Structures are given as C-alpha cells and as structure tokens.
Structure 1
Amino acid sequence: MADEAGEEVSPVELVDVRVGKVLKAYKHPEADKLYIEEIDVGEAEPRQICSGLVPYMSAEEIEGQNVIVLANLKARNLAGVPSHGMILCASDEAHENVELLVCPEGAAPGERVKFGSWDGEQSEPHTENQMKKKKTWEKVAPDLKTTADCVAAYKGLEMVTSAGPVKCKSLANALIG
C-alpha cells in the first residue's frame, strides 16, 4: 500500500491503534453478549465502543484496564448503539478463550501504538473511509498474533507503546482481533 507521498507502506502502519483506558463497562440493555464501554483514547470525550466480551469476562475485569483500541474504523450501530472502534483481544483458534490485550503501566491514553521499534517513524493512519474502501484492517488482521511470550505482534514485529510491549495474560501464539 502507498502513503500520501506514494511511498510503499506496510498496511499495519495505516491502522490507527491507540492506548485506551476503560472508564466504564456495562452490559448492553438489548444484546446478551455485548458490553458498552466508555474509553479514554486521548480525545475531548470518551469513545463509546461495543464489544462481544460478555461470554469471556466480567465488566469489572474490563473497567480500569489500559486496552488497545482500533480507532479508525467507521462507526456502526450494534444492536442500536453506536460503536466507534474496536477493542483488540487475543483468542484461541476455537474462540473459547479470549483475553484483553493490555498496555504496560505508564502508557498514556491516546498514544498511538507502533509495531517493531518505538523509535521508528510511522505513516499517517488511513481515515475511516480509506480503511473501509481499501480494506486495510482485512489486510492486517490475518497477520496479527501473540508470540510465545504472549506479546501482540504483526508478522513478528512486536506491538509497543512508549512504556513497553503490549501483552495478553496467557494466550501464546493466539489470534488477535
């Protein structure tokens, strides 16, 4: 994929992956498997995101966590509630075990996550429309996995914040989505 200047760029650099602090999580009133989360991603107002995590963890386990948010997805309604992004999680092949990807202490809400070296330059992320039109997330998602040490990675490049790598609790070599 090419950036604005026509330079070839890895699609993972075009996704806007950010640190988010979950301020509140509660069950969706009309959908058994959905939570509604209010997440600080460094913007003026918290983002509202719906996630299908009810079968895997309690709202209390989500609240207060520094999670990873895919921020440049087009907003969509989930069971009538607008959702502005996606919380990234690790899961096993059967999708029976799901764990949050969490940031180390010291990672600031709104900080853009990088892959590989924290010092590396990063391209401007795609807009929501570009993400949809160019299917950027669909190109990135199949190559996101956790390492043997439970660190989130894209094609072996670790997902990092200024405070260190992003991990899940215990799912090694797991899918991320």
Structure 2
Amino acid sequence: MDNIDNLFHPSLGEALMKLDPEDGEKIMEYFKTHALLTREKALLQSSLRDQKKLLVENGKLKKDIEQLRNQLQDKQRRRTAKALFAPVPPPSTCSPAPGTAVNQTSSPAGATAASPSSSSSSSHDRRERHSRRRRGDKKARPDSFCLVVEPEVNASRLDLRVGRILSVRRHPLAETLSVQEVDVGENAPRKVVSKLGGKTDLEELQGGLAVLLCNVKACKLRGVVSQARLMCCSDDDDHIELLTPPAGSTPGDRVTFLNYPGEPDRELQAKQRVWELLQADLQVDSKGVANYKGCGFEVKGKGLCRAPSLTNCIIR
C-alpha cells in the first residue's frame, strides 16, 4: 500500500475532503484499491503470456530431442550390423622365424634351382599380363562376400503419425485427385496428393485429424509433389473413409503396434516393396478398429485408430 499511496498527491486527498467531508476518505480508499487491482491484473496477464511461451518452446524442444534420438538409434543399428556381418580377412602368411628348421628336399648334384622351361613360362606369363593391362583387359575377380541382414517385414517399419488437415483443394489437373496440406508435428506442413476428389466431401476434411504414412518417398502426381500418404479404408462398394485417430491425439503423435515394437525406416525403399507386402494384412475389423494382423493401430496412452463407420474392409 505504500507504493499505492505514493501514486496520489496529498493535495488530491485534501481536495476530496473539502468536496465531501463525510465520504472523502472512502473515495480515496476506493481509488487506491482500484489501482492495486489494476496492477495485479497486469502482472497476472504478463505471467500467463510467459507461461504459454514456455510451453510452446518446451514442446518444440521435445520434438527436436525425439528426432535426434531416432537418428542416433538408426546410426547405432547400422553400425552394429556392419560390425557383426563384415567379412573376416584371411589369415596372413608369416615367414618362419630366424632359427626355425625348414624341411627342404636335397637336390641332386649339378641340378639347377629352376629349369629353363619354368623360367621361360613365368616370363611368358608376365608378358601376357602386361599386354592385357595395356589393352585395358582385366581378369574377372570374384565379388567380395558380404552378409546383409534384411530387417523383418512388419508394421513397425511404417512411420505412421497423426496429422491435422490444414487445407484441402481439388487437384488443378485431375478431377479424382485432391491436394491437402497436413500438420504432422514438423516445422512445416506436408503436401499430400490423394485420390479423394470424386469420393469424399472435401470441405468436411479441413481441420480434422487423420493418420498419415510419412516415410514414403516423395513423388510427383500430375505435377504436384506428394510428401506422405493419407491412410483410408474402403469397402466393396468403393466407399472411402479416412482413418480417425483416438480422442486427445495431437499432430505428430506416433501410431504404433503393441506386438511389433521397433523404429520405422527412414524411407521405404521401392525395390523392397515393404508397403505392398504389408498392405494385404492391414484392415478394419468388425468393430471398426484399424489393425495389422489383429494388432490395433495405437496412439500410446490415448487409444486406437478407427474407421468412422465402415467395418470389415481393407486399408489402403
């Protein structure tokens, strides 16, 4: 209250007392109380702004730490596989140590160390090798043998994440295609081209959550680069629905499988056909739950991913 008292000049209190001797002191106390409440409100608003700013920065740091951890684990796995399955070098031949007895067959008296025919044969071989090198010919060499461990093909290799659809529009060059911008918890949204143009009310998709496959190779579809794949399901009548994450999910949440732990590939290689091999076992069951071989699409601590209304159908 001392600081509040300093805000008011003594002449203000005297003037109030002259104008209203009975309620002058009450009016003065009211002014002081109002000033104190105004200052406390300003301090509270400032602290709330600082708290929101810290929460946003904390969320960004957590995402950066998670990305660095995944990169470190990937490097460690590759380093371990390289060390375990690198070819073993052949043992080197050593000359006998000084003083070691070496069995030698005694040659008869007058015999030379090497016959003239063997000497001429070796010189002929040397000339032949030299001529081949000059012509650019090379002897066929056996390829070095190296064991390569192929990771098991299961759903853990898919980088599935929750994303929020920020915008959606029809593809400018194809009626059956649509273009979405999706926030998947990264610094910038991803652009996705999908075959939803003629099957879905695009306006209803904007602002909603979806499940995306994020480690597919970026490719151009009719001139627009697609950086991910929207996970959807369809029935025999070709009705299409996007898979829906559980309530409380946020962009960037990983979709995992309880029975198939592990980190996803950095990028699915087309020659390995991982997506094609796994797609046959991705389906929506009779309860509407998306699953792989009976193991549900799960966002840890939040629940399972589902189809809005379809059941017993495929995921694509």
Q: TM-score, normalised to structure 2's length?
A: 0.51
SS at match of 1:68: strand
Equivalent in the alignment of 1:42: 185
Number of equivalent positions: 170
Aligned counterparts of 1:75 and 1:131: Cα–Cα separation in 2: 11
Deviation at 1:170, TM superposition (A): 1.3
Which of 167, 171, 174 lines up with 2:306 in the alignment? 167
Rounded to whole Å, the distance in 2 between the matches of 1:145 and 1:116 is: 16
Give me the whole-angstrom Cα distance separating, in 1, the residues matched to 2:166 and 2:312.
29
Letter of the 1:157 partner, please give it.
C
2: CA distance, partners of 1:99 / 1:171: 8
**Counterpart Cα distance in 1 of 2:232 and 2:266:** 22
* 1:62 counterpart (184, 205, 209): 205
**Do the aligned partners of 2:281 and 2:293 also contact (CA within 8 Å) in 1?**
yes
1:93 Cα deviation (Å)?
2.9
User: What SS does the aligned partner of 2:280 have?
Assistant: helix
Report the TM-score when normalising by structure 1. 0.89
Secondary structure (helix, strand or coil) at the match of 2:297 reads strand
Partner of 2:290: 152
Task: Identify the residue that residue 124 of structure 1 maps to in structure 2.
Answer: 263
- Rounded to whole Å, the distance in 2 between the matches of 1:93 and 1:72 is 28
Q: Contact 2:286/2:312 (CA < 8 Å) preserved in 1?
A: yes
Report which of the two has the higher share of helix.
2
Tell me, in whole angstroms, the C-alpha distance in 2 between the residues paired with 1:85 and 1:69: 6
The structure whose residues are more often strand, as a share, is: 1
Q: Answer whether contact 1:151 1:168 (CA < 8 A) is retained.
A: yes
Determine the C-alpha separation between the residues in 2 that align with 1:99 and 1:107: 18
Deviation at 1:127, TM superposition (A): 2.3
What amino acid sits opposite 1:106 in the alignment?
A: G
Q: Give 5+ residue unaligned stretches, structure 2.
A: 1-76, 82-148
Matched, 1:73 2:211: no
RMSD of aligned Cα (Å): 1.8
Q: 1:104 aligns with which of 246, 260, 264?
A: 246
Counterpart residue type for residue 164 of structure 1: G
Unaligned runs of 5+ in 1: none
- Aligned residues of 1:20 and 1:66 also touching (Cα < 8 A): yes
Match of 2:133 in 1: none
The whole-number CA distance in structure 2 between the counterparts of 1:125 and 1:43 is: 17
Identical residues among aligned pairs (%): 36
Q: CA contact under 8 A between 2:153 and 2:274: conserved in structure 1?
A: no
**Aligned residue number for residue 163 of structure 2:** 20
Amino acid corresponding to residue 253 of structure 2 in structure 1? E
Say whether the 8 Å CA contact 1:131–1:137 is kept in structure 2.
no
3-state secondary structure, aligned to 2:181: strand
CA contact 1:72–1:131 (8 Å) conserved in 2: no
**Higher RCO structure, 1 or 2 (CA under 8 Å, sep 6+):** 1
Residue type matched to 2:230 in 1?
I
Deviations 1:103-147 (A, max 9, x none): 122112111101237xx7x3221122x432321111111100001
Q: Deviation at 1:8? A: 6.1
Larger Rg: 2
How far off is 1:88 after superposition? 0.6
Match of 2:281 among 118, 139, 143: 143
